[in-house]
Amino acid sequence: MDRGAAACEPPEYVAVPSIDAIEALLARPLLDLVYDAATVHRRHHAPDAMQCSQLLSIKTGGCSEDCGYCSQSARFKTPVEREALLDVEAVVANARQARANGADRFCMGAAWREVKDGPEFDRVLRMVQEVKALGLETCVTLGMMNGPQARRLRAAGLDYYNHNLDTGASHYDQVITTHSLADRFATLEHVRAAGIHVCSGGILGMGETPRARAELLHQLASLSPQPESVPINTLVPVAGTRLEGATPLDWTVVVRMVAAARILIPRAVIRLSAGRTGMTEEGQALCFLAGANSLFIGDELLTTQNPSPSSDASLLGKLGLRAVAGASGGDREACGSGRCAG
Ligand code: SAM
Ligand code: DTB
Ligand code: SF4
């Protein structure tokens, strides 16, 4: 990245850089990269603020798709059993507990290829309405959907839709063959057009090349407008899935991806998402310095383990981080030079 005048270092990109440039950004000396990401982070976000969401799997297992990482695909023999869509009351009780645990956003996930109109979708709409009425931000991840479905979710009070690009275009077909990257972009367009905030990110550690990681960041940063929320997941290997034996990543790869995401998508909330059980406190702290400002809290993600609430409370306490709604301290852009995209 070019260095600008001392008054506004590091400059932010005014246009999304090429994939080559992003690959070079990811390969910079780690501490230089983290330093620049931390500077960008502090320009746009309160550095002591951590947004906390809690997840619930509202419809588990039995999914038709072949996502190579997923415990919920019916194509793999995994420890996860197929279950029916939960009742609204059970979901609301879980959301109340999440609120008591300190979450300000409640994310509901369904092991569906796509949303289908009918009584089950109507039930999800009631879940969104009732969780919203608790004073929580609402998020769902239901697979692909069309425009009218997105508009109904918005009308029910949905704040965020999570739909990940998962990996770079050159690696995508090695991970998923039953729906395409183009399908994913189409769903994100429906989300955006309905006025729902976009939550989209990916998974590291699926055997992808550094080039594919740069492609993923390029794809995410090129969404226009950029996503409000970017989850960076590390593969949680699940027995029976195609990727159960994937080579574990070095922790520095995660830090680099968080830092580059922060630089390329400066206003987004960057979520250090699945995979924290495999990270040290020190590794997570470096991710927070590099710009990660959102976490999932609670013992479980959808079907796999997350760090315990007490260990997370201890970590945030040690680092002087506070759980806050939204996590952004507002746009802290101070540079008036016009060189910075802001
Ligand atoms: N079926 C919907 C879909 O695929 O969009 C929603 C649920 S799906 C489980 C949500 C996201 O969780 C996936 O897109 C993927 O990025 C992430 N995920 C699933 N299994 C994972 C794993 N084992 N490790 C890391 N991330 C995972
Ligand atoms: C996201 O990017 N990560 C979350 C959420 N969006 C839905 C899901 C992580 C799932 C990890 C594997 C599991 O628990 O099944
Ligand atoms: Fe898992 Fe979602 Fe893929 Fe289904 S579509 S296999 S739930 S990631």
State how far the Cα of 326 lies from the Cα of 105, in Å rounded to an integer. Answer: 9
Taking the CA of 203 as reference, the closest ligand is: 1
pLDDT digits (tens, 9 = 90+) for 16-40: 999 999 999 999 999 999 999 999 9
Reply yes or no on domain 17-341 having CATH 3.20.20.70.
yes
**Percentage of the residues of the chain whose pLDDT score is greater than 90:** 90
Query: What is the 44 CA–ligand 2 centroid distance (Å)?
Result: 26
Is the pLDDT at 14 greater than 90? The verdict is no
Question: Which pLDDT value is given to residue 154?
Answer: 98
State how far the Cα of 334 lies from the Cα of 43, in Å rounded to an integer. Answer: 7
- What single-letter amino acid sits at 21? A
Q: What is the mean pLDDT of the chain?
A: 93
| DSSP conformation letters of 40-64 | HHHHHS-TTEEEEEEEEEEE-S-BS
Burial 147-164 (b: 16+ CB within 10 A, else e): eebbebbbebbbbbbbbb
Pocket test for ligand 3, best of 58, 113, 163 (most atoms within 8 A of CB): 113
So where are the chain's domains?
A: 17-341
Pocket test for ligand 2, best of 273, 276, 303 (most atoms within 8 A of CB): 273
pLDDT digits (tens, 9 = 90+) for 94-105: 999 999 999 999
Q: Which atom of ligand 2 is nearest to the CA of 80?
A: 15
pLDDT digits (tens, 9 = 90+) for 184-197: 999 999 999 999 99
Question: Which pLDDT value is given to residue 13?
Answer: 87
Q: For helices 281-289 and 309-319, what crossing angle results, to 10°?
A: 50
Is the pLDDT at 283 greater than 90? The verdict is yes
pTM: 0.94
Rounded to an integer, the average pLDDT of 45-70 is 98
State how far the Cα of 200 lies from the Cα of 229, in Å rounded to an integer. Answer: 6
Please state, as a whole number, how many other Cβ atoms lie within 10 Å of the Cβ of residue 340: 20
Helices (H), the chain: 19-26, 30-44, 88-101, 119-133, 147-156, 169-175, 181-193, 210-222, 251-264, 281-289, 309-319
Q: Which active-site residues does the annotation give?
A: 63, 67, 70, 107, 139, 199, 271
Question: Which pLDDT value is given to residue 9?
Answer: 65
Q: Is 90 helix (H, G, I), strand (E, B) or coil?
A: helix
DSSP class of residue 300 equals B
Is 240 in contact with 202 (CB distance < 8 Å)? no
pLDDT digits (tens, 9 = 90+) for 216-267: 999 999 999 999 999 999 999 999 999 999 999 999 999 999 999 999 999 9
Mean pLDDT is lowest, of 41-45, 143-147, 325-329, for 325-329
Question: Which pLDDT value is given to residue 331?
Answer: 42
Mean pLDDT is lowest, of 69-78, 167-176, 219-228, 323-332, for 323-332
Question: Which pLDDT value is given to residue 339?
Answer: 27
